[in-house]
């Protein structure tokens, strides 16, 4: 269950209108996804996960942005020491980072899950070609191809075409769901299932949330809108659980890419306490007063709850609005609920400021420039 320490008045008529717009948006497929999950695909995901766990010591997950952050967030929070180890690649163009990942896999048995909705993003494409080469060297072409799992568009793109030609096991990123809203599709579910995350429970949590978080998400979006209009233009997501660092990263991507356009949008940043109380804490307590803090308060022990209280009081006294989102369970159900809550709140927030929550023209701009430079 999610509860809030703030209670703004919400405009029901306006919220219902925005919800209708989201439901009818060609990219609004995530809204009803947990309730209408393609069970055939879900069974195939779990079978593939078992196959990978049985055959591999490592699963190399290749992807960037929405094709990477969501599953990493859940895996790091819930199953950081999975039996089949998960390695992430293709989220930078650093040769050093790629070599490190290749060396880490070394002579161990491994499989690859390459994830790209467009199938053309350069960072994952380069990492994939290196890991494919390694697979072929180790296992020969036929077995190598059977160890490649491609999550991409159903009908088009370079990755789709290669997957069909080579017979990789394929999973689909639905047409009506964009990268940063895709964590509850095969994009996130396959790597999570390999890591031992109970994906049934995760989807149950998200499915229940589709009803239960409607009001809290509307309140949170309304609160953000009000703060933005009072010139609080920076939001700090704060957590006291170090294992949720990547959940913060996913949040920054979700809100940054959904809202940051047309000169609008709250700038998202994040901290992990206590660590960051000894760095960013100074600024938050005492720097420019244009920021507000959103504490994601996971269930915790008594000691940690004391520091949550201390920070809430100190930062409020320092003059920044402190919003607290309390989560009742630190498990798959809790994270399913939390993911859905933030997706919904984010889409509503973007709609409130009049920007499209589902496109990312800025991201596409750098991709185009990079391709031009590479062609030169
Ligand atoms: O949210 C988004 O749409 C982006 O962050 C994409 O997920 C990211 O750019 C990766 O794109 P693709 O999956 O096409 O490789």
Neighbours of 356 (CB within 10 A): 16
- Count Cβ neighbours within 10 Å for each residue of 209-238 and write b for 16 or more, e otherwise: bbebbeebbbbbbbbbbebbeeebebbbbb
Residue 341 scores a pLDDT above 90: yes
Q: How confident is the model at residue 225 (pLDDT cuts 50, 70, 90)?
A: very high
Residue 364 scores a pLDDT above 90: no
Q: What is the pLDDT of residue 29?
A: 96
Higher local confidence (pLDDT), 232 or 362: 232
Q: For residue 89, what are the β-bridge partners? A: 62
Q: What is the pLDDT of residues 116-147, one digit of tens each?
A: 999 989 999 999 999 999 999 999 999 999 99
Residue 375 scores a pLDDT above 90: no
Q: What is the pLDDT of residues 246-258, one digit of tens each?
A: 999 999 999 999 9
Cα–Cα distance, 336 to 343 (Å, whole number): 11
Q: If you measure from the C-alpha of residue 212 to the centroid of ligand 1, how many angstroms do you get, rounded to a whole number?
A: 29
Q: What is the mean pLDDT of the chain?
A: 96
Percent of the chain scored above 70 by pLDDT? 100
Give the atom of ligand 1 at the shortest distance from the alpha carbon of 68: 7
Coil/strand/helix, residue 319: coil
Q: What is the pLDDT of residue 104?
A: 97
Q: Among residues 257, 259, 332, 337, which one is catalytic?
A: 257
Task: Look at ligand 1, atom 2, and give the residue with the nearest C-alpha.
Answer: 179
Cα–Cα distance, 287 to 134 (Å, whole number): 50
Cα–Cα distance, 300 to 297 (Å, whole number): 8
Neighbours of 83 (CB within 10 A): 10
Cα–Cα distance, 11 to 30 (Å, whole number): 23
Residues 6+ apart with CB under 8 A from 269: 234, 235, 236, 237, 252, 291
Q: How confident is the model at residue 200 (pLDDT cuts 50, 70, 90)?
A: very high
CA atoms within 13 A on the CB side of 69: 21
Q: Are strands 169-172 and 148-152 parallel, antiparallel or unpaired?
A: parallel
Q: What is the pLDDT of residues 67-96, one digit of tens each?
A: 999 999 999 999 999 999 999 999 999 999
Cα–Cα distance, 46 to 107 (Å, whole number): 26
Q: How many residues does the chain have?
A: 376
Q: Among residues 9, 278, 302, 376, which one is catalytic?
A: 278
Residue 37 scores a pLDDT above 90: no
């Amino acid at each position: 269950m999610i509860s809030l320490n703030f209670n703004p008045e919400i405009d029901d008529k306006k919220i219902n209108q925005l919800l209708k717009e989201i439901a009818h948006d060609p990219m609004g497929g995530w809204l009803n996804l947990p309730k209408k999950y393609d069970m055939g695909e879900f069974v195939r995901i779990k079978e593939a996960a078992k196959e990978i766990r049985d055959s591999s010591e490592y699963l190399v997950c290749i992807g960037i942005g929405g094709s990477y952050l969501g599953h990493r967030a859940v895996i790091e929070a819930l199953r950081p020491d999975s039996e089949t180890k998960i390695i992430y690649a293709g989220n930078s163009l650093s040769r050093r980072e790629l070599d490190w990942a290749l060396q880490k896999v070394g002579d161990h048995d491994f499989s690859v899950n390459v994830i790209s909705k467009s199938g053309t993003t350069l960072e994952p494409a380069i990492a994939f070609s290196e890991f494919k080469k390694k697979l072929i060297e180790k296992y020969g072409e036929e077995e190598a191809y059977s160890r490649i799992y491609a999550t991409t568009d159903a009908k088009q793109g370079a990755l789709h075409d290669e997957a069909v030609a080579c017979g990789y096991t394929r999973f689909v990123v639905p047409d009506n769901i964009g990268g940063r809203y895709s964590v509850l599709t095969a994009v996130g579910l396959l790597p999570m299932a390999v890591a031992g995350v109970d994906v049934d429970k995760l989807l149950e949590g998200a499915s229940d949330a589709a009803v239960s978080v409607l009001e809290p998400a509307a309140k949170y979006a309304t609160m953000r809108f009000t703060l933005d209009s009072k010139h609080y233009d920076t939001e700090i997501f704060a957590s006291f659980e170090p294992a949720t660092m990547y959940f913060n990263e996913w949040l920054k991507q979700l809100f940054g890419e959904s809202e940051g356009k047309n000169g609008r949008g709250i700038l998202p940043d994040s901290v992990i306490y206590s660590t960051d109380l000894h760095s960013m804490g100074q600024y938050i307590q005492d720097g420019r007063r244009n920021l507000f803090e959103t504490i994601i308060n996971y269930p915790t022990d008594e000691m940690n709850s004391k520091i949550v209280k201390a920070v809430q009081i100190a930062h409020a006294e320092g003059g920044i609005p402190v919003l607290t989102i309390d989560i009742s369970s630190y498990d798959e159900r809790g994270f399913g609920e939390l993911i859905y809550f933030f997706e919904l709140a984010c889409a509503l927030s973007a709609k409130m400021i009049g920007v499209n929550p589902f496109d990312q023209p800025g991201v596409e701009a750098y991709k185009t420039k990079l391709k031009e430079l590479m062609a030169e």
